[in-house]
Structure 1
Amino acid sequence: MSRASLRRDIRGGTLLEFTFVAPVMVVLMMALCDLLYGTYARAILNGAVQKAARDSTLQGASVNDLDQKVMTVMGGLIGATTQSCATDPAAGTWCATRVSYSSFTQTGPEPFSDDNNDGIRQPTECYSDINGNTKWDATPDPGASGQGGASDVTVYTMRVTYPRLLPVAGLLGWSPNQTITGSTTLKNQPYQSQSSPATAPAVLCTP
């Protein structure tokens, strides 16, 4: 076969193109599967957290048992796990936190009188000092650790870390571990008297 004929011969071209495209397509499909799996795991976690949070508002409910029920549900997806609340969580670990407030208003910015209706608190507009620190807080009050007492509002959060489903993380510069979080806010039932009487927050008009 002459050189001219060889240059015009396109047999095998498709195979050559496939060798370049196939690795990219495989990596993209693996990445997509990993993302979809994470979304699915997060949805399962949210459902389990909401169920456990509803159960924890009842008198006599053991929060430790409820946490284990959440992880029993998740164990079917990610395998065995251990409890760890480290800042940099390892794969196969979980961490449950509960923060309680006396009312739903404490879980967000402190309420203020929006005199000019601009949605932004001005230094001269009065506010309710819910946490008693004599300044307006735009971020949620830190709350108290734990489930709280009767009629308290509890924010329940569960963090789970597991190894990624497919070995694609290194190729894309991702962490080899995936961390997902589920959270919900519910009000405890009034099954007992509060440990201390509730007091109305002070109304301040200072910056």
Structure 2
Amino acid sequence: MTRRLLHDRQGAAAVEFALIAPALLMLVLGTFELGLAQYLRAVLEGAMQQAGRNSTLQKSASSQTGIDDYVRTQVRAVMPGANVTFSRRNYSTFSDVLTPEDFTDLNANGRYDSGECFIDENDNRTWDSDVAKSGQGGANDVVLYTATVSYSSTLPMSALGLSPVRELTASTTLRNQPYSSQASRSAVQICG
């Protein structure tokens, strides 16, 4: 009887499938998750490019919410439960984007230390690692417009020790239309 059971192959396929099914299911869901993330990124970047073009027009100064709503609508068409947040930072020139305020490096350590002199370019009286002012800015200003999308993963990520929330970010940098003269920015040296 034992010998006959050892050579019996009935039901082997069901047992093999039961062993392989979880890995196969994770592979299929993982592929779906990656594809959805790539599609969502493409939609987000396309919406950001269009919103960026729209936001540089003179009439956009009063319709910033409408531009944000356009991006949010495009994203939520793909991921209905997504949370979309926005930020706008403006600069005088493209070369200023994401650059720190100049400072005098007294101890030559390559970073700003309290008490060192710096050029306050954004009028907040503190040294900043980015010279930007918040908001859309004015005529001829360069704007860094960023959208961050947070959404729940379709995979049970917490079971794997990972965060169940996924995040995508897209930015566009454009110059506002020259509908008037660009406002001058004061740069004041502050020491101590």
What is the TM-score normalised by the length of structure 1?
0.70
Residues 39-78 of structure 1 aligned to structure 2 (within 5 Å): 39-61=38-60, 62-78=63-79
Aligned equivalents of 2:31 and 2:131: distance in 1? 37
Does the aligned pair in 2 maintain the 1:102–1:152 contact within 8 Å? yes
Give the percent of matched residue pairs that are identical in Structure 1 and Structure 2: 36
Unaligned runs of 5+ in 2: 101-107, 109-117, 122-127
Unaligned runs of 5+ in 1: 80-90, 111-122, 124-130, 203-207
Aligned equivalents of 2:142 and 2:13: distance in 1? 63
Moved over 3 A (4+): 198-202
1:12 and 2:8 are equivalent in the alignment: no
Q: Who is 2:93 aligned against? A: 103
Count of aligned pairs = 167
Sort the Cα spacing of 1:201 and 1:105 in 2 relative to 1 into closer, same or farther, 3 A.
farther
Equivalent of residue 133 in structure 2, options 123, 126, 144: 144
Residues 87-166 of structure 1 aligned to structure 2 (within 5 Å): 92-109=82-99, 132=119, 141-164=130-153, 166=154
Aligned equivalents of 2:82 and 2:17: distance in 1? 38
Does the aligned pair in 2 maintain the 1:163–1:176 contact within 8 Å? yes
Compare 139-148 and 28-37 and name the one that shifted more. Answer: 139-148
Aligned equivalents of 1:201 and 1:190: distance in 2? 26
The alpha-carbon deviation at position 64 of structure 1 amounts to: 1.1
Aligned equivalents of 1:30 and 1:171: distance in 2? 14
Does the aligned pair in 1 maintain the 2:152–2:164 contact within 8 Å? yes
The alpha-carbon deviation at position 12 of structure 1 amounts to: 2.3
Does the aligned pair in 2 maintain the 1:157–1:181 contact within 8 Å? yes
Q: Who is 1:120 aligned against? A: none
Aligned equivalents of 1:159 and 1:106: distance in 2? 22
What is the TM-score normalised by the length of structure 2?
0.75
One-letter amino acid of the counterpart of residue 28, structure 2: M
The alpha-carbon deviation at position 191 of structure 1 amounts to: 1.0
Does the aligned pair in 2 maintain the 1:107–1:140 contact within 8 Å? no
